[in-house]
Amino acid sequence: MGRPDLVLLHAPSVYDFRRRFAMYGPISDVIPSTPIFEMYPLGFVSIVGYLEARGYNTRIVNLAVKMLRDREFDVERTISKLDPLAFGIDLHWMVHASGSLDIAEIVKRYHPETPIIVGGLSATYYHEEIIKGFPQVDYILRGDSTERPLLHLLEDIEAGREPEGVENLTWRSGDGRIRVNPLSHVPESLDDLGLDYGDMVSLVVRHRSLEENLPYEGFMDYPFTALLTCKGCLYNCVTCGGSRFAYRKFFNRDKPAFKSPERLLEEVLAVSEYFDAPIFLLGDLRQGGERYAEMILRGIGREGVDNTLTLELFTPASRSFLEAIAGSCERFALEISPETHDDAVRRLQGRPYSSSELERTVEEAMRLDCEKFDVFFMVGIPGQTVDSTLESVEYSKRLLERFGRGGRLHTFIAPMAPFLDPGSLAFEYPARHGYRRLYSSLREHRDALLQPCWKLILNYETRWMTRDQIAEATYKAMMRMNEVKMEMGVIEREVGERVAEGLALAWEIMCRIDAVNTLDEEDSKKAYEELRLKVERSAKWTEYSKRELRPQARAGVRLRGALKHLIRTHLRRR
């Protein structure tokens, strides 16, 4: 097996979530992860592929998944036994502001001499605060693509050199000075940064652990095999920390970089070889231009990929684009996030298209036998009131009435939670976009994550809704959406009733937490203990609603075939 050069650790959002009382509510309702956000960044896969191809032995340990799966799993013991040249920890999403830094502290305690590197979009945004305020972190690799600088950093660490020339690096030199190397590695081509799921399965085989490599808890039941088509974005949704504005200002990327159609096709084929689950192409293909999208779809059609193809639409799509999708594969699914039914509110959010354009897209997609069409609405956007939020649910009902026959259309509503993204237009210019920012620094966000209720973790309120109103609008809207789905037969009544009960209980707990917060420490501790079981119950019931996110046909993981293949290639490499 050999000593790994780099161990990549993924932390839970809050380190001691197994002991601590918290009601995280709906903060991860529309993604595969649990509220602990156990999914690691796709970048882990490209880092592993890049370094392994250059002779560096890497290992991923998804601590969050291991902690979720085993309440007794001993994090400190596991960390103490690892002995790499360096540790890497992602601080990509702000939701890990607490967990990632706590894990770094534990690693430092057991391995004071081993360098700790953090990276990701949030680490990039807060690099100066981290290097000044968190001594457990030695290096921050900034930017949206760190594979090459990471290789150079490892070479310097191995050689005992100061990393003067490592691009994108923030660090402390031997004399204690803080150094910020230029953020100059911003590649225009992504073809070197492959996402080969085969690399992951090789790690599983080599380290004889499936669990530590799992991208998230439910992966084996509900595999979400995603491929990045680009880095950056052409759009400027005002609440998004991955917008054109944010990439330009904080990640030094002027325009999006795209994976070439040839490379993407190779990745699609590799995934298809291991899994029969849907393949999610992240990022709207049309961002790369009509020709780019056409080349990818044609290639997929030519190769006869039999997985369902899931595509994201950032804006409504033309008939010809939808026909091109339908013509390229046996089955396709779509996702779009109009966020609201109200065109004026959507414009304030930075998505200037109309609901009638959305409807035309849904209609056309249904006509072309789209297997599943997910439409997402959001609570907490500019110009939105409690009433407007609830009207979006009634609009969903109208959509379901018109296009929902056959159960292929699915509508969802969830809060923008727990955070308004740092680096987004609304975070940077809150007053201009009608926001009040409640936490600004990394440390404030880190502390916020330790609050007992998701409403108190929220880092914003708007001119139109306070945090209380955002929470109220959320529960009312989710309850009504659940009723609509039962009425329309989108979900079974039995499931809907459980979800309704879970939501009602969650709302009740949230109000109870407000009251408990006014008690003294001793009494509040006792009250939280009493609430704990209720929280677990409500989470279990509301969890049922997440099943609707899963692909239409039950997708299994063709593990046997995949493993056979990988064991063969792994043995060949050795």
β-pairing, 257-258 vs 116-119, is: unpaired
Distance CA(11)–CA(96), nearest Å, equals: 7
- Pick from ligand B12, ligand SF4, none: which does 314 bind, CB < 5 to 8 A by kind? ligand SF4
At its nearest, how many Å lie between ligand SF4 and the CB of residue 22?
27
DSSP state, 453? B
257 binds ligand B12 (CB under 6 A): no
Beta-strand ranges (E) seen in 239-370 are 257-258, 279-282, 309-313, 332-339
Nearest to 240 by CA among 96, 92, 422: 422
The correct pick among 104, 117, 137, 481 for binding ligand B12 (CB under 6 A) is 117
Find the largest Cα–Cα distance for the chain.
Answer: 68
The correct pick among 75, 118, 313, 333 for binding ligand B12 (CB under 6 A) is 118
Nearer to ligand B12, 364 or 545 (CB): 545
Token output for 406: 């056959």
Nearer to ligand B12, 143 or 404 (CB): 143
Site for ligand B12 in 124-143 (CB under 6 A): 141
233 binds ligand SF4 (CB under 6 A): yes
The correct pick among 28, 229, 243, 459 for binding ligand SF4 (CB under 6 A) is 243
Nearer to ligand SF4, 14 or 237 (CB): 237
Beta-strand ranges (E) seen in 77-221 are 86-90, 116-119, 139-141, 169-172, 178-180
Assign 3-class secondary structure to 498-540: HHHHHHHHHHHHHHHHHHHCCCCHHHHHHHHHHHHHHHHHHHH
Token output for 430: 């809150």
The residue count for binding ligand B12 (CB under 6 A) is 40
Nearer to ligand B12, 145 or 355 (CB): 145
235 binds ligand SF4 (CB under 6 A): yes
Distance CA(470)–CA(379), nearest Å, equals: 7
314 binds ligand SF4 (CB under 6 A): yes
- Pick from ligand B12, ligand SF4, none: which does 353 bind, CB < 5 to 8 A by kind? none
- Calculated CA dihedral for residues 26, 31, 35, 40, nearest 10 degrees: -160
At its nearest, how many Å lie between ligand SF4 and the CB of residue 350?
7
Mark the segment that binds ligand SF4 (CB under 6 A) among 29-37, 235-243, 247-255, 359-367: 235-243
Measured N-to-C along each axis, helices 467-487 and 386-403 cross at an angle, to the nearest 10 degrees, of 20
The correct pick among 234, 282, 450, 505 for binding ligand B12 (CB under 6 A) is 282
Nearer to ligand B12, 98 or 486 (CB): 98
- Pick from ligand B12, ligand SF4, none: which does 549 bind, CB < 5 to 8 A by kind? none
Distance CA(41)–CA(58), nearest Å, equals: 15
Cis preceding-peptide flag for 4 (omega within 30 of 0): no
Buried/exposed 524-542: b ≥16 CB within 10 Å, e otherwise: beebbeebeeebeebbebb
For the chain, the C-alpha Rg in angstroms (whole number) is 23
419: amino acid identity, one letter: F
Distance CA(342)–CA(276), nearest Å, equals: 38
237 binds ligand SF4 (CB under 6 A): yes
At its nearest, how many Å lie between ligand SF4 and the CB of residue 118?
23
Answer for the pair 300, 309: CB distance below 8 angstroms, yes or no: yes
Distance CA(91)–CA(266), nearest Å, equals: 29
Q: How many Å separate Cα 463 from the centre of its chain?
A: 27
The correct pick among 242, 299, 383, 422 for binding ligand SF4 (CB under 6 A) is 242
β-pairing, 86-90 vs 58-62, is: unpaired
Nearer to ligand B12, 319 or 443 (CB): 443
β-pairing, 139-141 vs 169-172, is: antiparallel
Q: How many CA atoms lie within 13 A of 538 on its CB side?
A: 20
The correct pick among 228, 334, 370, 488 for binding ligand B12 (CB under 6 A) is 228
Residue whose token pair is 């974005």: 233
The correct pick among 150, 264, 366, 539 for binding ligand B12 (CB under 6 A) is 150
At its nearest, how many Å lie between ligand B12 and the CB of residue 415?
9
- Pick from ligand B12, ligand SF4, none: which does 231 bind, CB < 5 to 8 A by kind? ligand B12
Nearer to ligand SF4, 201 or 233 (CB): 233
Q: Which residues contact 296 (CB under 8 A, 6 or more apart)?
A: 229, 261, 264, 265, 281, 285
443: amino acid identity, one letter: R
The correct pick among 59, 108, 127, 231 for binding ligand B12 (CB under 6 A) is 231
At its nearest, how many Å lie between ligand B12 and the CB of residue 487?
27
Nearer to ligand B12, 146 or 361 (CB): 146
- Pick from ligand B12, ligand SF4, none: which does 144 bind, CB < 5 to 8 A by kind? ligand B12
Mark the segment that binds ligand SF4 (CB under 6 A) among 7-15, 137-145, 240-248, 264-272: 240-248
Mark the segment that binds ligand B12 (CB under 6 A) among 226-234, 296-304, 331-339, 480-488: 226-234
The residue count for binding ligand SF4 (CB under 6 A) is 8
Calculate the alpha carbon distances from 552 to 170, 281, 374 in Å.
Answer: 45, 17, 11
Q: What is the DSSP string of 256-282?
A: -EE--HHHHHHHHHHHHHH--S-EEEE
Mark the segment that binds ligand SF4 (CB under 6 A) among 134-142, 160-168, 199-207, 234-242: 234-242
204 binds ligand B12 (CB under 6 A): no
At its nearest, how many Å lie between ligand SF4 and the CB of residue 253?
13
Site for ligand B12 in 57-116 (CB under 6 A): 88-90, 92-95
278 binds ligand B12 (CB under 6 A): no
- Pick from ligand B12, ligand SF4, none: which does 228 bind, CB < 5 to 8 A by kind? ligand B12
The correct pick among 58, 62, 100, 122 for binding ligand B12 (CB under 6 A) is 122
List residues near ligand SF4 by CB under 6 A. Answer: 233, 235-237, 240, 242-243, 314
Residues near ligand B12 (CB under 6 A): 27-28, 31, 33, 37, 39, 41-43, 46-47, 88-90, 92-95, 117-122, 141, 144-147, 150, 226, 228, 231, 233, 240-242, 282, 421-422
